[in-house]
Structure 1
Amino acid sequence: MTASHCIIYKICPRPLWEAAQAIGQFEGAPVDLADGYIHFSAIEQVRETAARHFAGQDDLVLVAVDATTLPRLKWEPSRGGALFPHLYAPLTMSEVLWAKPLPLGPDGHHQFPLP
């Protein structure tokens, strides 16, 4: 997969995202800071990311970013050898396309604002 014309997604706790908005950039969640890059997912990966790493968590935000605007983005092997987008820089708010709530549905799964 390449970053060409690709929207990538970050799942983030709402309070952490609101704090990032207040300072104009997102430095990363604790896991991102520990790993040295901000974890993103492509559209075909984001639902599994939510199920694996955010199961049962409410009060989340789904953030969409155009990967072509991120010069320090690398696609690297991760889960099952699949290439995942990793950003080796803070994410500025000007790079964000949108951020929308990612609520839990009645079935306990996240309800994505995606096609």
Structure 2
Amino acid sequence: MTSPIYKILSLTDDAAFAAAPEAGYAGSSDDARDGYIHFSTREQLAGTLAAHYRGLDEVMLLTVVVEGLPSIALKWEESRGGQLFPHLYAVLPGRAVLCRDRLRRGTSGLFVLPWETH
């Protein structure tokens, strides 16, 4: 099994996903603007949270199983700092989502990731 990838959602976008997970998630307004759904690897999450979710105190984190995605639609493309980020050019099927975790900012001001609490 390949390492999972992660989708960060505002609470509003999470409500849209949770309302109909079987229909799949078409993405946020930023995803629609760019033409694909943005994902991060585990190593990229802290940077993505810092760069794009500064104004939020809570977000939802979807852990996504790569094998559950249409392989032809998942592309690894250069983005921030020359890193390769996973981009999905399709709807995110609900069956590919392994879990949803609510992330909150810790006392440091940074979001606390699920594996940091165990």
TM-score (norm 1): 0.90
Q: Give per-residue Cα distances to partners, 1:76-111, cap 9 Å, x unaligned.
A: 111111100000011121110001001011221101
Q: Hey, what does 2:98 align to over in structure 1?
A: 97
The CA RMSD measured in Å over matched residues stands at 1.3
TM-superposed CA distance for 1:68, in Å, is 2.4
Question: What letter matches 1:76 in structure 2?
Answer: E
More helix by share: 2
Q: Give per-residue Cα distances to partners, 1:21-71, cap 9 Å, x unaligned.
A: 212221111110100000000011011100111124123101100112212
Unaligned runs of 5+ in 2: none
Unaligned runs of 5+ in 1: none
Q: Hey, what does 2:28 align to over in structure 1?
A: 29
C-alpha contact 1:55 1:109 (8 A) present in aligned 2: no
Counterpart CA distance in 2 for 1:112 and 1:48 is 12
Question: What letter matches 1:41 in structure 2?
Answer: S
Identity %: 42
Q: Hey, what does 2:63 align to over in structure 1?
A: 64
Q: Hey, what does 2:84 align to over in structure 1?
A: 83
Counterpart CA distance in 1 for 2:32 and 2:90 is 11
Question: What letter matches 1:47 in structure 2?
Answer: A
Question: What letter matches 1:98 in structure 2?
Answer: C
4+ residue runs of structure 1 moved beyond 2 angstroms?
A: none
